[in-house]
Each structure stands twice: as structure tokens, then as C-alpha cells.
Structure 1
Amino acid sequence: MLDLAIIGGGPAGLSAGLYATRGGLKNVVMFEKGMPGGQITSSSEIENYPGVAQVMDGISFMTPWSEQCMRFGLKHEMVGVEQVSKNADGTFTIKLEGGKSEMAKAVIVCTGSAPKKAGFKGEEEFFGRGVSTCATCDGFFYKNKEVAVLGGGDTALEEALYLANICSKIYLIHRRDTFRAAPSTVEKVKKNEKIELITNASVDEVYGDASGVLGVKLKLQNGERDLKVPGIFTFVGLNVRNEILKQDDGSFLCEMEAGGQVSVNLKMQTNIAGLFAAGDLRKDAPKQVICAAGDGAVAALSALSYIENLH
């Protein structure tokens, strides 16, 4: 039986693994189907992590985390988790893809979040063929071309600035006339000659043919506009990944918030003894790397205390 199962390999999961193993737990496994690093690995630049003075892309930033966090004995299982359930004896069953399962004394869930769909016509049809949620992944395909960016938060504006280094022009579309991003980022966007702001607007439809996207139709306050662009990048928020907490009867294993986030206290404890949640998945998460890392450390320390008290 595992002492601790950590589900998710982003900043929260890796930090939890580091603190749990360095704190003395011997049998700790982090379940992450892909490479560790989390959603931040698709970010084009990180400039606000304390102690890291140089601006870095997400992959370069996260690469040393795995090495450091595995140093004290954390194991990484590259397999997807389908469900977490609690047993009558207080232990947990982690149901894995392929029909296997593991038992654990305690579980930290840090499955994070995924980009929301914007909901316009053609979004699903052209996803991966001109509709993207990752500028660092796909920006290169639009070198010296015009593209659209949809969104008004930090991610949308930061990625628009990143794309401005590659593309000939960026149309930044936002449904309001004010932005939710940091003032310094808004100022940079407004000063960038390659970025045209289209505010109080929404995307009505993305259209194209077998080759991919050919244009984006917008609804404006005073009419319509048709942008002849081969690509659009959407950054309209995040949905938490809470599926593994769903039980066979459709209920959730622990208390949840109205938006699907896990209810936790300041120790990252859920209402189920031995079950902890950290990072984007937990209620009121600021969705910042430093906060997720802190959550993971707190959850691991709470799990250490919980497991010690079992004996």
C-alpha cells in the first residue's frame, strides 16, 4: 500500500511530492499520464515567480522541478487515474486506466484545470486546424501572418504579446472595453503597434475549408466584422478537472463548491479524512504557479501529519 498518492504532476503535485518525501514518507507515487510540469509548460513567458529573475518560457521554467522533486524518492507513474474512492477501513482506492488499481493511506488531488471552450460556431470543427489555446505550441505556424486572439485576462494579453514577436498583426478581441489583466501588461499591449484592440466584440463564427481556418466573423456593438485570418487563439478561462472525484452513483467523494472546485480549509484538507486538494482544483485558487506550489507544500505537510497520527 502506498503511504501517499499524488494525482497530477503540475506545480502543486510536484511540490507535494517534494515535501512529502523530504518529510520522511517512503512510498509516495505521483500519478501523471504525461510529462510533469502542468499547464504552465504551454506558457510563453513567466516573469513573476519570486527568485527567478530572468524571463523564461514554461517548459524551461518547469524542467528543473521534476529533477529536484524526484531527488528524495518520489516515484512517477505515467498512467491516467479514473477514480478515487474511500474504503471502509479508511484507506483509498485509486482506480487506474487499464483496469488496475492502487491502495493508499492518503491522497492529494491536484489535477488542475483545462482551457474553457469559447462556444462560437466552428470552434470544435477547426480545433487544431486554426483554433488553438496554446500560443507557444502553435504560434510558429503563423509566422509573418495575421491572427486573432480572444480574451481579456492576463493569459490572453501575454500570449498576444508573445505572438506579436512572430506574426505580422494581432487582432485582440474582448467582449468588454476594459481588461482584467495586470496594468503593466495592458500598457504593453496598448503600446505594441502590431496589436489592434477590438473591444465590446464577440466571435460569432470561425469558418474555413479542408485546409483550415480562413476567417473569423465578429459581432460588434454597431455591426459586424470579418477578419481574414488563418488562426485564432482563445483564452477565455479555465474549467477544473474534477472528474476523478465522481463516484459510481454520480455524487462527489468530498464537498464541492458550486463551480466544481473542491472545498478545502487552509490546510488543504477536504471534509474526508486523508483526502487533500491543491492548486487550481481547490476553491478560491488564484491560478498562479507560486500559489499552486504553496498549496502542494501545505497539502503534503497536512498529509504527513495525518499519516503519522494513523499509527
Structure 2
Amino acid sequence: MTQQTFLYQPKISEVLKNMRKVMIGKEEAAMLSLVALLAKGHVLLEDVPGVGKTMLVKTLAKSLDCDFKRIQFTPDLLPSDVTGVSIYNPKSMEFEFRPGPILGNIVLADEINRTSPKTQSALLEGMEETSITVDGNTVPLSDPFFVMATQNPIEYEGTYPLPEAQLDRFLIKMKMGYPSEKQEMEMLSRTSNGHPIEGISAVLTRDELVDLQKEVLEVYVDRTVNRYIIDLVTGTRTHDGVYLGVSPRGSIALMKAAKAYAFIHDRDYVVPDDVQFMAPYVLSHRMILTSEARFEGQTADAIIDSLLSSTSIPVKRNISE
């Protein structure tokens, strides 16, 4: 790692410390959010209401000196409400572009499955292309650009579930889960006289975040580790319980996530443990199970776990390659 990277490492720790102050018992979710941010990916948070999905995004955004935008998805939301719209100015006699919330650095897409597929596509285009199309013109998005979307898995009336092809746009899909009794007691104690988010401040500037994302790209991945990633992904394509396995985009996503995870842990190289930890969060939502497998109660997470147990782990670097 460069000298600049070592200067930034304490700031990464400060971001995680901020998130621990607010998100009690959610250290893993906080770390995964930071992994996706540094890997220039996006996160889909799927869980029941009230477990802290929105607060997680707000805390991350407040720890960064970046432009934070929130989009509350509703059935009547239009694509122009996301991307922006051109409005005619009678003084200049020209159309002026009024940017939408997607032009922010950190974007919270709250309850993304409550809006129509057409409006969802306006967001997903930006996530994939880092640009949007408005009135036939291409508008580049801000750098950095990070989307954290939330959805409620228990209410299906009036919702539009994301198709598998669109789920593939998210680097990581994760759940928050309920806190333990001890954690919930601590939560009540910390919020009795105000919310702890009010006491945190930004510790990373926009330019520093962009530099960190560039540093993550330089993390070394040995050919044997790449071979391990390919073996895991290939396993999803040949498994009897999987109708559609992980695409090559998933292989790239797992490599990027493993690099960011290694970087957060002060390493400039990826080890198989990094791949193993990130695999369930990166690969599970990119698979479609057969109807027989679903009937038998199999899940994508269980299949990934079985592949991690059965796939040979590289133990040393092959110098001849």
C-alpha cells in the first residue's frame, strides 16, 4: 500500500466507529456497506420495517462529506422525479435542466419495490452506466456515486419486485435482522436523551473517498484466487438446484468486493478468506433456483454454503503461472 493509503486507514476506522455509535450490533452491515462503497458498487437492503435500514444509510452519509439525496419511492413516482427534468425558461428562451436526486453522491432509494418498473429502470440505468438519459441527452453522474436501496420483503400488495436481471446491478444484498435483547436495551439507553446520529460528523471528504476507491483497484489478486472465484461461480451454474447460475458480472463483482474487504483490513492483497466471507452477499441474489429446489426448501444461501464447503481452496501461489 502507498503512504497515502496508510494515512487514510485511520479515517476508515473512524467511519466504522461512527456507524457503531448509531447502529448497535450491526458491525457486519456497516462493514459491508463500506465494502460496497469502496468497490464502487451498490447495496440492496431487504428487511422488515424498523430494524434500521434507513438509519444505516444516513449514518454512512453523515460520516462522509458528500452530497446526500433521498428518494422515497411510491407508486406514482415518475422517472423524471428521479433523473430530473428540463424546464423552459421564458427569460432566456431556453430549456434548463433541473437535476433530480440521482445526481447526488450518496443516494438512498427507500422502498424501491414500491414504484413502477419504468421508474425503477431510471435508477438502475444510472447504477449500471454511471449516467442517465434526459430528453435524449446523456448526463454523467457525480463521482463518487453510491446507491443504497431498501425494500420490505413481507408486503407484496402494491409492490413491484425487482427482476433478477435488475437485482444483478447490486454488488451486495444483505439483511439487518433484529437486535438481541442486550443490544436493544443499549439502543433504548442511547436514544433516551436524543439520537446518537446527531453527535457524529464527517471524517472523509469527497476527494479522499475517490482516492480510496482508486487505491482499492490496486489491491492484488493472485491467479489462484481468481481461479477459486471462477470455481465457485461455475458451481452455481452446474448445481442441480439452480435454474440460472451466476453470470460473469457476478465473478467480477465478487473479485471487487473481496479487494475492498481486504483493503479495509489493511491488506493490499486478497486471500481466499476474503472471497469466502463476501461470496454469500455477492452471489446469492444472482441465482434463480429450480421449482423443485424451492419446493424442497432449499435457499440460495444454503447452496452457496455448500459450494464453499466443497470447492477446493487455494493454499499457495502457483509461481509458474
- Quickly name the TM-score band, shorter chain normalised: under 0.3
Structure with greater helix percent: 2
Q: Say which structure is richer in strand.
A: 1
- Normalised by the length of structure 1, the TM-score is 0.24
**TM-score of the aligned structures, taking structure 2 as reference length:** 0.23
